[in-house]
Every structure is written in structure tokens, then in C-alpha cells.
Structure 1
Amino acid sequence: MIYQEYFINTNCPVIGLEQPVLQAYLLNPPIAQGKLRPAVIICPGGGYSRRSVREGEPVAMRFLSQGINAFVLQYSIVPNRFPTALTQLAESIRFIRSHAEEWSIDTNQIFLNGFSAGGHLAACLGTMWNQEWLQKIMGSSPSEYQPNGMILCYPVITTGPFTHQESCEHLMGSQPDETLLQHLSLENQVSSNTPPTFLWHTQQDTSVPVENSLLFSIALRQHKIPFELHIYERGIHGLALADEVTMRTPEQWEPNCQDWIDKAISWLKRQII
């Protein structure tokens, strides 16, 4: 494995000293000449105020074990507001595509994997990648930063009754404009251009209610976007891998949820057949 870190720069200035970093976990070039690998960009959760370590490298290692190059985006958090992190994620895809030959990555197999607020970030790009306002900021063709699929883990989706208020406030401020509030309720942004999506959530999640994934899956269904949804009965919010690798408290070990990563990888591989 090769590990590298890259600073990500966009036309959205970053408030504060911390610069966004893309952590690359790269498999050695394939033995078979011309064989390309898929890639996944992981966006950890943390309510847009921090980034969970538990939802970063441990997840990347699981993707690597299945022949998938993995990247963890340490995106900008508060006091930075929308769309700072979104442009950093878009730039990350563009950056990976520009190095695809060097890293033996298939440019048509770049997926997003977001947890909680990181799921909102991933879903923002998945639903907004072709919007004109983002194209103006990025200054290039949307095809350069278009994702090919999304894996959303207990994602923040809605800004309505089932929202995660902390994430909304950190992203938009305590008194956001109503137009922006509606714009970032992502069940309203799904279109025929949204990529195929894998979602999972738990029924017992009291921080980000399961309705977030339900609302998004309903919107995907309405627009005939292929998706796979898994709702587990048990489990608190923020389980990460739900095993002994990522647990910090006994509640974060949930055997019935531990197969989500295997299901997600199987789903991803079906997208690239």
C-alpha cells in the first residue's frame, strides 16, 4: 500500500488555518497490465464541526482489502459554511481523475462514501454536480467532478422535521435563508442525473432519524434511480464499522450491523460489471 496526503485548493477560500487534505490509500499497481481499479472517497461525519477518525482510515482499509483504492477527505468544518466543503469534494474527484493513469484508477468508477453529515456532503455533490452555480465556482466541465455512485451511511439528508439541527446550523448558520434551507434538503435535489446509491440506517437512530434515508430513497424511486436500502432494527447513531475496530463504547459494537460494509462493497462491484 502507498499512503500520500494532498492539499485540496478551490476557488472557495477557507476560513482559518486548517487546509483540506485528501488522504490517499493506494494499492500497488495491478499485476495485469491495463487493469484499472475503482476508487472511493470517504467523507467522515461529525456534524460539520469535526471529522470522525472512526469513519476514516478503518473504512478505507476495508475497501483496500477488496481491491478498491480509497481516499479520506478531511474537508473544512466550521466556521466554514456551504459550499466550501462541497467544492473541496468536487475538486477531490477532479484531482483523482487527473491522476487516474498514474494510480491505475478507472475514471468512470469513482464513488462517494459519506457518514452522517459526511453523508450530507456526499449527497450534496451527488445531487448538485451538474448545477450551473457549482460549475461557475469550479470553472470546468461538471464531467470532471461527477461521481459515479454513492454509499450513504446514516446520512443527514433533510432540513425538514427530521433534520439533524446541529449539522444544519454548522453548515448554514443559526438563521439560514429559507431558500438555502430548502436547497440543502436533499430529497428535493434528486433528479435523473443523481448516480446510483446505496444507503443504510438503523431504526433506533435518535440523532439522525431513519426518515432521512427513507426520504432520499423515495426521491430516488420517483426519479427511477437505482438504489439499495438497508434498515437495521438495532444500533445507535455513528456506528462506523460497528465492530471492535471502530468501537469506543460498548454501544458502538453492534453485530447485526457489521455486514453493511460487505453489502456496500458487493453493491459497488455490481455497478462496475
Structure 2
Amino acid sequence: MDIYLSGEAKKLNRKNLTVVFLHGGGYYVSDKSKEERYIRPYLKKGLNVVNLNYRIKRGVPVATEDLPNALNYLATQRATYPLNLDRVILTGFSAGAHIASMAAVTANDPAYPNKLVPGIKIAGVINFSGPVDGLDVVEHVFMNNEVPIMKEIGMALFPETTDYAPKELVAKYEPINYFDKNDPPFFLWHGGKDDQVPASTFEKFVALLNQEPNKNEVLFLPEGLHSPSSNELNSAYEKIFVFLDKL
């Protein structure tokens, strides 16, 4: 992980948030250094930021373990890294946003195995194009893709299976199945023309978020693709900082 410590953070009082970002890449490719455009707006605001890698090419189950592991590690290193872990914002793009969302909605589930240690509180989630439901649909999109690397990603999502993963396995990694009103506020960005995580897979989750419009915010771009353009990202961050100010 890359840890950016700001000299201004402690002066921010309630706005002293710790932002933890996870990159995309289908749990298979990419690296924290590849998507730094997502963390620059937070750095400019003087926030502490953690840019996190996670194990790739090991599948969804392994990748989702690494965010709780990292947060728990940071809790043991408070003297070295003076981060405010009582006000953590989990964010990511694509696969990373899925991992962030999973950690947030399972934090209050006593049956979920990857537990956060006491003293860590998730204050909010910012999800760019990360699966929240219909992970089986996403698996089909990748496994049936004609582009070799996309097919490789699809085959590696659940490496313990050689065909499509059984629904009961996939369901364990769908944030919607853990969602409740005690979960932290969500900011969700997604595009109507996303060819990797189809817009239809967000519909039920969005309906849940929209039950509390003062708490959650959904930014849906009908013409948006999987990855936001520079202009779309800049526009999103204007809304994101309004969202964060309410937390």
C-alpha cells in the first residue's frame, strides 16, 4: 500500500477522513499505480489516503480478504501511521469498488468471516462501476468475451470452479445480500453503456439506496461506459465532496 499522510488532516476536525482506494482490473490485472487519478482529488483536499493493492489472479474470494486485512494492519500501526480509522471512506473502481462495498456492508454482519477489529468505522463508500449484484451476470460477460484477456479474467473470478460458479458461491460475494439500513452511506457511480458490469445489475441495489435519498447518492450516466472519462470524473468529484461534507 501507498500511504499519503497530510500535514493538514488533523486540522480538518470532522472532515478528517481516511480514504482507502482500491484499483480495478477484474481481480486479475492492474496495480495501485495505474489509477491514481481517483486519489488526486482527495490529496488536493489535504486528506490522508491509502492506495491499496490486493492479491490478483487468485479470484474474488481471496481478493476480498485483503481490504479487511489491510485495515486491521493499519489499526496495529497507529503510532507509525496516524490515520483516523474512526472515519474511513472505502472507495474503488470496478473490482476495487466491489471489494470496498463488500467490506462496508459486511462490517456489521457477525457471521461474515473477515471481521474488522474494534476501533475501525466505515463512514462511507464511493463506488465507481463496482459489482453490487448480479455477479453471475458479470462472470458470464467475461467468460464469453472474445478478447483473450477478458476471457482469462472470467475464468479466474472463481478459480475453484472450471465452469460457471454455482449461485450459492457467487451470492456470498454480492454486496446486495448483506445490505441493511445500518450500513454506511453509499455514493454509487455507474454508466448505462457499461459493457463489463451491465447497468441492469445495479437496478435492485439502486432501489435500496434510493429508499434513503438523504443518506445515499446515485450518479447514473445513461451514456456512461465502464470507466468514467476525465470530464465525467471531475463532475463526479464535485458531487462526491458534497456527499462527504454531509457525513
Aligned to 1:266: 242
**Which residue matches 1:81?**
59
Residue of structure 1 in register with 2:2 after alignment:
23
Checking the alignment, whether the CA contact within 8 Å between 1:23 and 1:72 is kept in structure 2 is: yes
> 2: CA distance between counterparts of 1:85 and 1:29?
32
Given the superposition, is the C-alpha separation of residues 177 and 31 from structure 1 closer, same or farther in structure 2, using an over 3 Å criterion?
closer
State yes or no: 1:170 paired with 2:156: yes
Output one character per residue of 1:24-50: Cα deviation in whole Å (capped at 9) or x when no partner.
Answer: 122125575988721111111111111
Runs of 4+ in structure 1 off by over 6 angstroms are: 33-36
User: How many correspondences in the alignment?
Assistant: 233
Of 118-127 and 82-91, more deviation after overlay is shown by 82-91
Instruction: Please point out which of 137, 143, 156 is paired with 2:131.
Output: 156
1:206-250 alpha-carbon deviations (Å, 9 max, x no partner): 2212233332222334589921001123332123xx22xxxxxxx
Q: Shift of residue 187 of structure 1?
A: 1.9
Taking a change above 3 Å as real, the CA distance of residues 233 and 223 of structure 1, as seen in their structure-2 partners, is: closer
Structure 1 gaps of 5+ residues are 1-21, 244-254
Q: Which amino acid aligns with 1:268?
A: L
Gaps of 5+ in 2: 143-152
Tell me, yes or no, if the aligned pair for 1:217 and 1:227 is still in contact at 8 Å.
Answer: no
Task: Select 2:199's aligned residue among 203, 207, 210.
Answer: 210
In the alignment, the residues of structure 2 paired with residue 152 and residue 33 of structure 1 have an alpha-carbon distance, to the nearest angstrom, of 24
Q: Between 154-163 and 229-238, report the one with greater CA deviation.
A: 154-163
Q: State the identity %.
A: 21
Change (3 A) 1:145 1:34: closer
Q: 2:180 maps to what in 1?
A: 191
Tell me how far apart the structure 1 counterparts of residues 105 and 14 of structure 2 sit (CA, whole Å): 30
Distance in 2 (alpha carbons) for counterparts of 1:168 and 1:223 = 34
Aligned partners of 2:227, 2:11: CA distance in 1, in Å? Answer: 38
Residue 110 of structure 1 aligns with which residue? Answer: 88
- TM-score, scaled relative to structure 2: 0.79
1:147 partner letter? I
Q: Would you say the 8 A contact 2:87–2:123 is kept in 1?
A: yes
Do residues 51 (structure 1) and 30 (structure 2) align? yes
TM-score by length of 1: 0.72
Secondary structure of the 2:127 match is strand
